[in-house]
């Protein structure tokens, strides 16, 4: 098959021929319909953090083309979304809802071969069926929607709760959709890119501020707003600490963006205001199933985020272009294109 593989830090990725994956006893092989280009892939290529030959890509959907010998309940031709998170489902970490930290199995497109390819092998327990009438491509939004949804769950917000989404990259935008599903609001989105701020309004933010013109703290002071939760999706230096400053008593600051920053925290303010600090990474299996159900029911306008669809041959260049995304929101790699 043809696949996009990591070469080295200078080259980035390139398309080459590799052996087709064959299903292990508990796996299926799916023909990839679509795989979203994720910022974490862009950064790991840019920073040279992949193993040579690694096939990235973990936000995908497709149709089953081969079924392992132990697999029951799945059939060739069936459309599926696939969680990339390998897990046993039984250990303490899995029971806690953190399959991505389970030591038993690798994560697809991160620690084993991924889905910027014509085919991908997936353990059957990571599959969720898509309704036959749904465009299969839509299943590729389930992974990033799950990241946003998990962050919203950890924020413990509901109807009438004002929430700040700091950063309007793809994860911030999926988080806005998840906040709307939770009934939270008003939702204030803060970001720099004009195109992505427009997308934030389009998918459900009530107020969108341009952080090049007004800081989050200035906005909060001027509008008299304090937030029940801040979802830090920007990785902008100082954003987490700034988010803490605009929380109401008892509020929650959720770090969602991947950042190496070491933040200094106002501990007295944290205790006197009763603030909650939490990190959100990936999602539980339950959240993934819920995300697929929301997409299948048409409750989230995920397709509005798609800026471009590219072929496998165009995927290495698209990963490069996303290093400076500008107004680009989401690019889907479509091997059949």
Residue in 30, 50, 80, 94 binding Zn ion, rule: CB under 5 A: 94
From 99, 135, 148, select the one nearest 286 (Cα to Cα): 99
Applying the rule CB under 5 A, the residues between 38 and 57 that interact with Zn ion are 38
Residue in 7, 18, 88, 134 binding Zn ion, rule: CB under 5 A: 88
Q: Which two tokens stand for residue 278?
A: 């939490």
CA distance 263 to 182: 29
Count CA atoms within 13 Å of residue 143 on its CB side: 29
Nearest-approach distance from CB 38 to Zn ion, in angstroms: 3
Check residue 24 and report its DSSP letter: -
Q: How many chain residues interact with Zn ion (CB under 5 A)?
A: 7
Nearest-approach distance from CB 292 to Zn ion, in angstroms: 16
Task: From 32-40, 48-56, 72-80, 118-126, give the range in contact with Zn ion by CB under 5 A.
Answer: 32-40
CA distance 326 to 308: 13
Residue in 91, 134, 214, 245 binding Zn ion, rule: CB under 5 A: 91
Nearer to Zn ion, 61 or 87 (CB): 87
Those residues with Cβ within 8 angstroms of residue 151's Cβ, 6 or more apart along the chain or in another chain: 171, 175, 178, 231, 233, 254, 256, 280
Applying the rule CB under 5 A, the residues between 183 and 202 that interact with Zn ion are none
Nearer to Zn ion, 104 or 265 (CB): 104
Name the maximum alpha-carbon separation found in the chain.
63
Nearest-approach distance from CB 109 to Zn ion, in angstroms: 8
Nearest-approach distance from CB 102 to Zn ion, in angstroms: 3
Applying the rule CB under 5 A, the residues between 99 and 138 that interact with Zn ion are 102, 104
Those residues with Cβ within 8 angstroms of residue 180's Cβ, 6 or more apart along the chain or in another chain: 187, 203, 204, 300
CA distance 98 to 74: 25
Nearest-approach distance from CB 337 to Zn ion, in angstroms: 20
CA distance 253 to 91: 28
Nearer to Zn ion, 227 or 288 (CB): 288
Nearest-approach distance from CB 104 to Zn ion, in angstroms: 5
Task: From 88-96, 118-126, 271-279, 296-304, give the range in contact with Zn ion by CB under 5 A.
Answer: 88-96
The site for Zn ion (CB under 5 A) is made up of 38, 87-88, 91, 94, 102, 104
């Amino acid at each position: 098959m043809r696949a996009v593989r990591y070469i080295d830090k200078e080259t980035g990725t390139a398309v080459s021929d590799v052996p087709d994956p064959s299903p292990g006893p508990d796996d299926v092989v799916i023909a990839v319909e679509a795989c979203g280009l994720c910022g974490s892939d862009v950064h790991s290529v840019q920073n040279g953090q992949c193993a040579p030959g690694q096939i990235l890509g973990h936000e995908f959907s497709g149709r089953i083309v081969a079924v392992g010998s132990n697999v029951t309940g799945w059939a060739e031709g069936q459309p599926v979304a696939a969680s990339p998170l390998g897990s046993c489902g039984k250990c303490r970490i899995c029971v806690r809802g953190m399959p991505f930290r389970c030591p038993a199995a690798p994560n697809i497109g991160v620690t084993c071969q991924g889905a910027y390819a014509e085919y991908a092998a997936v353990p059957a327990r990571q599959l969720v069926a898509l309704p036959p009438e749904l465009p299969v491509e839509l299943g590729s939004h389930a992974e990033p929607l799950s990241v946003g949804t998990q962050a919203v769950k950890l924020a413990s917000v509901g109807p009438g709760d004002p929430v700040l989404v700091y950063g309007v990259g793809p994860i911030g935008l999926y988080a806005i959709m998840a906040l709307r599903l939770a009934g939270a609001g008003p939702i204030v989105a803060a970001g720099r890119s004009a195109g992505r701020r427009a997308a934030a309004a389009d998918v459900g933010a009530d107020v969108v501020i341009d952080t090049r013109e007004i800081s989050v703290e200035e906005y909060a002071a001027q509008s008299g707003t304090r937030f029940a939760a801040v979802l830090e999706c920007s990785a902008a230096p100082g954003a987490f600490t700034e988010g803490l400053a605009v929380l109401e008593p008892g509020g929650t600051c959720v770090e969602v963006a991947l950042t190496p920053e070491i933040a200094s925290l106002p501990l007295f303010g944290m205790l006197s205001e009763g603030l909650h600090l939490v990190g959100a990474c990936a999602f539980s299996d339950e959240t993934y199933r819920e995300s697929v159900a929301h997409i299948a029911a048409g409750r989230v306008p995920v397709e509005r985020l798609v800026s471009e669809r590219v072929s496998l041959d165009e995927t290495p260049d698209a990963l490069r272009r996303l290093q400076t995304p500008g107004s680009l929101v989401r690019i889907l790699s479509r091997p059949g294109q």
